[in-house]
Structure 1
Amino acid sequence: MFGPPSSLIENYLRETGFWHVVTIGQGCKLNSKLISALIERWRPETHTFHLLCGECTITLEDVHLQLGLPVDGYTVTGSASSTNWGAVCYELLSVTRDNINGGQIEIGWLRDTFPESNNDSTELERIGYAWAYILEMIGGYLMPDLS
């Protein structure tokens, strides 16, 4: 992540439900032995932890309570397909990229294209920066699978 977001986009992050995700880990001390023990007990084929007392899994309610992300409302299912990913990119970010590979954009491109907002930035620039920040949170923090 490229650090905490500018206070200029805080309202946009709150409006989209991502503000709580920004605060994850702040003031939290990680216990490496506990994390190692949980990793050893995780079974990816069933998406559960196998503990002495039984099986345990992560539910949407857990996601809601821990990350503060909304789990009610419209869902996103299936795969997204488009014949013009440049248009989709422009619609969301107000800029386009020439070589979008199957709907994927590079985090480095987001960082280069959307520098941190300042007091002179327009509302459109702030919204674009907020979207870029959210995309980087998803791609670099919530689901860092390098795809």
Structure 2
Amino acid sequence: MALYGIIRCGFFKYDNHLITALVERWRRETHTFHLRVGEATITLQDVELVWNLNINGFAVTGVDESFKPHVWQSECVEWLGFMPHVNQFRGNKFVMSVLDQYCRSILINDNSTHVEVERYTRCVALMIIGGCMLSDSDGCSVNLMYLRLLRDTNQVSKYSWGSAVLEFLYRELCTASTIGKGEIAGPIFILQVWALSRITFLCPDPFGDIPDDDDHNDQILPFPPFGERWNRSFTWTHTTNHSVRVIRDLLDKMEPNQLIFLLHSL
């Protein structure tokens, strides 16, 4: 399905103060961050680099249909392999903790049938989509309209998921930068890695070695994405974090050499 890069990146704790400072400088008219040294923004190349997501291919589109719970139950039985309770649906959304519990309750091995493997894979893909790529503000549910795109598992990798992720992030930044809004959802991992990678005074020092890829067989699995290097420990001795006031002040005093504009400089 070409979503392996997201799994390799693992978990990364978000700095809400940094995200807040960035949202304050987002301009809806241009979809860019208004910085002292100029305009900068997250691009398709950034999304492809950080998560190794496809940025070409079919558009991720669909109709946000609202069915009764028993219709969604039938969809889940056919494509996911189990029937959730009606209370586990929130309109056309589905509680992701149920997916997690289901995946932990079954065992996929060499004796599993092709249908069982495909259904399990769709469950994992839904959790990736709802938890990382296109997450809602509650972060606990996933829209079942994405299930329609996962029916043919051989076609999933041909969708331009990177374009969908970038558009979703732009929309969330525009919404969060509106007066009276106090939350943001979506691919925050992309936003934070972009900031820490390109704004030099925000980048922490690595604590420990960069993940070793010597034992990684790229003939079987894709090469790790850029975002994986953030899946380790860091020290913030020479940089600031968890302080909106300090980050605002640093952005106000930013010098041209403190922003990496070119992708090949990462």
Q: Same fold (TM over 0.5)?
A: yes
Task: Give the deviation of 1:118 after TM superposition.
Answer: 3.9
Structure 2 residue runs of 5 or longer lacking an equivalent are: 142-266
The separation in 2 between residues aligned to 1:74 and 1:121, in whole angstroms, is 31
Is the contact made by 1:41 and 1:51 (CA closer than 8 Å) also made in structure 2? no
Task: Give the deviation of 1:37 after TM superposition.
Answer: 4.7
The separation in 2 between residues aligned to 1:128 and 1:60, in whole angstroms, is 30
- Aligned partner (choices 77, 80, 84) of residue 93 of structure 1: 80
Deviation string, structure 1 residues 20-58 (Cα, Å, up to 9, x no partner): 1111158x8x896xx855641334562532221222222
The separation in 2 between residues aligned to 1:129 and 1:45, in whole angstroms, is 41
Runs of 4+ aligned structure 1 residues displaced above 6 Å come to none
Counterpart of 2:102 in structure 1: which amino acid?
Answer: T
Counterpart of 1:49 in structure 2 is 33
Q: Does 1:137 find its partner at 2:128?
A: yes
Structure 1 residue runs of 5 or longer lacking an equivalent are: 1-15
* 40-49 or 53-62: bigger deviation: 40-49
**How much is the aligned-residue C-alpha RMSD, in angstroms?**
3.1
In terms of Rg, which structure is larger?
Answer: 2
Counterpart of 1:13 in structure 2 is none
The separation in 2 between residues aligned to 1:22 and 1:38, in whole angstroms, is 22
TM-score by length of 1: 0.66
The separation in 1 between residues aligned to 2:18 and 2:85, in whole angstroms, is 45
Task: Give the deviation of 1:110 after TM superposition.
Answer: 0.5
Is the contact made by 1:90 and 1:96 (CA closer than 8 Å) also made in structure 2? yes
Deviation string, structure 1 residues 102-144 (Cα, Å, up to 9, x no partner): 2211111112222263424433332222221221122223325
Task: Give the deviation of 1:145 after TM superposition.
Answer: 2.2
Q: Does 1:75 find its partner at 2:50?
A: no
The separation in 2 between residues aligned to 1:90 and 1:124, in whole angstroms, is 12
**Distance change (3 Å), C-alpha of 1:93 and 1:57:** same
The separation in 2 between residues aligned to 1:31 and 1:113, in whole angstroms, is 27
**Distance change (3 Å), C-alpha of 1:40 and 1:75:** same
Counterpart of 1:5 in structure 2 is none
Counterpart of 2:94 in structure 1 is 105
Is the contact made by 1:63 and 1:69 (CA closer than 8 Å) also made in structure 2? yes
- Aligned partner (choices 107, 121, 126) of residue 117 of structure 1: 107
TM-score by length of 2: 0.40
